[in-house]
Amino acid sequence: MVRDVTLDLEERISVNRKLLEHHKVMLQLCTKLEKIADSLPNISNIQECLVICRDLFPIIKSAHNFEEKVLFPILHDKQQEDGGLKKNLERLRYEHWEDESFAEEISDVFNAYINEPIQSDAEKLAYMLRGFFEGVRRHIAFETEYLLPMLNKAS
Ligand SMILES: [Fe+2]
């Protein structure tokens, strides 16, 4: 079934704004994770770390749900002839899945470290955190450069 995905200017601005809001929240999270990775094996604010452990997956999942259920269908339906777009959306979906798995794993390892801070675990955790936030930043940069201009044309 072909959906009617005609967007008026107001809808386009709304989708654009929501994507940027999700990106902003994720980038703020990345900044916090980088500070934590830099300070390990020390943890300066246990309460903040516990909150991050709790919120990491939901924040990432919420952004991905918006992109996959709202943004990607708009772009896909509007530019079906674009084979490059189809491949890029598949790649982004795959990265979402990877980041969600990674977020869950980090929350578990981080929680365990907060409860029992062992030096060797600190190195592993710092490595995981860096891999995660660097990947998320790259992903967001690509979406900003590649998807946002397409959305702005999807009228
Ligand atoms: Fe994404």
CATH number, residue 112: 1.20.120.520
Determine, yes or no, domain membership for 80.
yes
Distance separating alpha carbons of residues 64 and 47, to the nearest angstrom? 26
Mean pLDDT for 92-119 is: 95
For residue range 26-77, list pLDDT tens digits in order: 999 999 999 999 999 999 899 999 999 999 999 999 999 999 999 999 887 7
Determine, yes or no, domain membership for 135.
yes
The whole-model pTM stands at: 0.90
Determine, yes or no, domain membership for 98.
yes
Give the model's confidence band at 2: pLDDT under 50 very low, under 70 low, under 90 confident, else very high.
very low
Determine, yes or no, domain membership for 2.
no
Mean pLDDT for 107-134 is: 94
Q: Which amino acid is at 29?
A: L
Total domains in the fold of the chain: 1
Total residues belonging to the chain: 155
- 8 Å CB contact between 81 and 52: no
Other Cβ atoms within 10 Å of 123 Cβ, number: 12
Measured in Å, residue 148 CA sits from the centre of ligand 1 at: 11
**Residues of the domain holding 21:** 9-150
| Helix and strand totals (H; E) in the chain | 6, 0
Measured in Å, residue 18 CA sits from the centre of ligand 1 at: 12
